């Protein structure tokens, strides 16, 4: 007992050293958040001009996880929820996240001893003549039961860095899943807005066509009466045909929007028809959140993807460094064998072994050394890419803020132009019927009104889509999706921990 105690104590001390020793390589720290308080040059806007709705920005306000509900459309909310349930891309991202989580759990196994059991039975004919000894050959049975245990001491933390990299991969996949969900919700809302705008343009063009048909009929009456040349009627017919030709391309775009919505929702276009949602069914959010720059880098999915990649690169530097250093593996075994089952556990058949193996690289042609240098350069590359991602994210928020500001200004001017064009068209139409306006006046008024209407609709749709872009640029609010209501709404990031 006296000799065994020091040996056990030495082994315990060595194990303690392996478990408590520091890991080689850099300890990862999340990059510092930018210190600025705003995104745009000078200062961020606090509100837009009033163009039907004045949008106000609230710095520091939380972004709703189900931000699309701020457009006040139950149909839109139901469509987004259905897409979250059926989209194959999102399902693939969720499966990738679960796979990375399982890989991490598997990686933790390196911190535990590996224990294996063996059992064997064999029938053997043994002859001592092969050893140069006389005697008669014997036939016997041999039964064996044994167990072996081995444990690699993580002296330099290489295994810990490997598991750290696996944890970073989980973070990467989690952020990717959130980015996929955010992109899906934004695509759904933007497609709904685009389709609604196409339908509104079709309706406006059809109204103009109906007016032009009336003008053609009136022109034909005037031509038969001899008050105007028939060439005037032909000019009206030509303009009518031109506007009628504008309908099929708009119908095609609306159909493509339907097909895209079906695909995003996990259906084929033939088996699924979305509910009709017009621009009148949507309300432009008036109060918009504006995350602080220091919060944006902690929440925006693409920045989190870049940070997770940087973290994995940092851990891989430690893995490559540990590979340059010696490794120690402890192993032991215990078993018993005998010629009969009844004697299998007799003390005479017991055997055991215990030992430690030290392995150290001596010469590999510089492979391990340059692998470490490559890992360091990869870390530097990912650090630069992380900064590039942050800069692009900040620029996107700044662009969107200015876009919303300018959208409101443009829409205000477009509304005034549309109102004037509508009044001019009404007056010219009355004068034409009274015979005091020419067909050229009618054509000019028609074209001005139609263009003003189309411009107004396009600006309205762009303002809605730029509002979607702001929610997307701010990360979509997935971090506020922890409650049951957010999960029921299908908020991105709510389905998985």
pLDDT digits (tens, 9 = 90+) for 416-451: 999 999 999 889 888 888 878 877 788 788 888 888
What pLDDT shows up at residue 116? 92
Taking 3-state DSSP, the helix, strand and coil percentages for the chain, each rounded to the nearest 5, stand at 65, 10, 25
pTM for this prediction: 0.85
Residues 6+ apart with CB under 8 A from 323: 158, 361, 368, 371, 372
- Name all domains of the chain by residue range, CATH numbers in brackets: 18-112+155-325+366-489 (1.20.1600.10)
Tokens of 403: 């876009």
Residue 90 near residue 177 (C-beta atoms within 8 A): yes
Question: How confident is the model over 349-364, as a mean pLDDT?
Answer: 89
User: What pLDDT digit, counting tens, does each position of 95-138 carry?
Assistant: 999 999 999 999 999 999 999 999 888 888 777 766 666 667 77
**484 DSSP 8-state letter:** H
* Biggest alpha carbon–alpha carbon distance for the chain: 139
Instruction: Indicate if the pLDDT at residue 270 is higher than 70.
Output: yes
User: What pLDDT digit, counting tens, does each position of 51-89 carry?
Assistant: 888 999 999 899 999 999 999 999 999 999 999 999 999
What pLDDT shows up at residue 36? 79
- Under the banding of pLDDT at 50, 70 and 90, the label for residue 484 is very low
User: What pLDDT digit, counting tens, does each position of 341-351 carry?
Assistant: 777 777 778 88
User: What pLDDT digit, counting tens, does each position of 21-47 carry?
Assistant: 578 989 999 998 888 788 988 888 899
- Under the banding of pLDDT at 50, 70 and 90, the label for residue 297 is very high
Instruction: Indicate if the pLDDT at residue 188 is higher than 80.
Output: yes
Give me the percent of the chain exceeding a pLDDT of 70. Answer: 91
Tokens of 202: 């079709």
Distances (CA, A) of 86 to 166, 266, 272, 331, 477: 29, 5, 12, 51, 21
Rounded Cα–Cα distance for residues 382 and 447 (Å): 55
Question: How confident is the model over 370-374, as a mean pLDDT?
Answer: 96
Q: CB pairs under 8 A, 24+ apart, for 212-218? A: 212/236, 212/239, 212/240, 212/243, 212/446, 213/240, 215/429, 215/432, 215/439, 215/442, 215/446, 216/240, 218/432, 218/433
Rounded Cα–Cα distance for residues 313 and 377 (Å): 9
Question: How confident is the model over 9-21, as a mean pLDDT?
Answer: 44
Instruction: Indicate if the pLDDT at residue 366 is higher than 80.
Output: yes
Rounded Cα–Cα distance for residues 107 and 19 (Å): 16
What pLDDT shows up at residue 11? 44
User: What pLDDT digit, counting tens, does each position of 200-253 carry?
Assistant: 999 989 988 888 888 888 888 878 888 778 888 888 888 889 989 999 999 999
User: What pLDDT digit, counting tens, does each position of 379-414 carry?
Assistant: 999 999 999 999 999 999 999 999 999 999 999 999
Rounded Cα–Cα distance for residues 222 and 91 (Å): 66
């Amino acid at each position: 007992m006296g000799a065994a105690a020091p040996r056990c104590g030495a082994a315990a001390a060595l194990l303690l050293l392996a478990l408590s020793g520091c890991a080689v390589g850099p300890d990862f720290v999340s990059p510092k958040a930018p210190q600025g308080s705003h995104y745009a040059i000078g200062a961020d806007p606090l509100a837009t001009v009033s163009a039907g709705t004045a949008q106000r920005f609230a710095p520091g306000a939380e972004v709703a996880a189900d931000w699309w509900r701020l457009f006040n459309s139950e149909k839109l909310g139901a469509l987004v929820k259905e897409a979250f349930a059926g989209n194959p891309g999102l399902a693939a991202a969720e499966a990738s996240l679960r796979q990375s989580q399982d890989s991490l759990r598997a990686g933790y196994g390196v911190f535990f001893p590996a224990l294996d059991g063996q059992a064997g039975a064999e029938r053997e004919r043994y002859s001592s003549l092969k050893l140069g000894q006389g005697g008669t050959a014997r036939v016997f049975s041999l039964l064996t039961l044994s167990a072996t245990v081995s444990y690699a001491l993580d002296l330099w933390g290489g295994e810990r860095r490997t598991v750290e990299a696996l944890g970073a991969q989980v973070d990467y996949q989690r952020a990717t899943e959130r980015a996929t969900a955010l992109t899906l919700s934004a695509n759904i809302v933007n497609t709904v807005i685009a389709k609604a705008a196409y339908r509104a343009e079709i309706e406006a063009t059809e109204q103009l066509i109906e007016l032009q048909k009336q003008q053609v009929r009136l022109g034909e009456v005037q031509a038969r009466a001899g008050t105007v040349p028939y060439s005037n009627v032909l000019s009206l017919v030509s303009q009518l045909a031109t506007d009628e030709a504008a309908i099929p391309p708009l119908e095609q775009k609306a159909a493509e929007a339907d097909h895209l919505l079906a695909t995003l929702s996990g259906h084929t276009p033939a088996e699924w028809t979305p509910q009709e949602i017009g621009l009148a069914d949507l309300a432009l959010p008036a109060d918009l959140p504006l995350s602080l720059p220091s919060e944006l880098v902690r929440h925006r999915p693409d920045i989190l993807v870049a940070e997770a990649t940087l973290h994995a690169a940092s851990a891989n530097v430690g893995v490559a460094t540990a590979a340059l250093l010696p490794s120690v593996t402890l192993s032991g075994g215990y078993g018993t064998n005998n010629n009969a089952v009844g004697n299998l556990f007799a003390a005479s058949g017991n055997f055991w072994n215990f030992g430690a193996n030290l392995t150290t690289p001596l010469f590999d042609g510089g492979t391990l050394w340059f692998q470490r240098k490559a890992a360091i350069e990869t870390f530097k590359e990912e650090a630069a890419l992380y900064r590039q991602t942050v800069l692009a994210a900040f620029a996107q928020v700044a662009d969107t803020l200015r876009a919303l500001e300018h959208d409101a200004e443009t829409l205000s001017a477009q509304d005034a132009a549309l109102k004037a064009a509508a009044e001019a068209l009404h007056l010219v139409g009355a004068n034409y019927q009274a015979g005091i306006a020419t067909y050229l006046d009618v054509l000019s008024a028609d074209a001005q009104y139609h263009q003003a209407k189309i411009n107004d609709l396009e600006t309205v749709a762009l303002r809605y889509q730029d509002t979607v872009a702001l929610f997307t640029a701010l990360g979509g609010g997935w971090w506020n999706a922890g409650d049951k209501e957010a999960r029921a709404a299908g908020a991105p990031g709510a389905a998985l921990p």
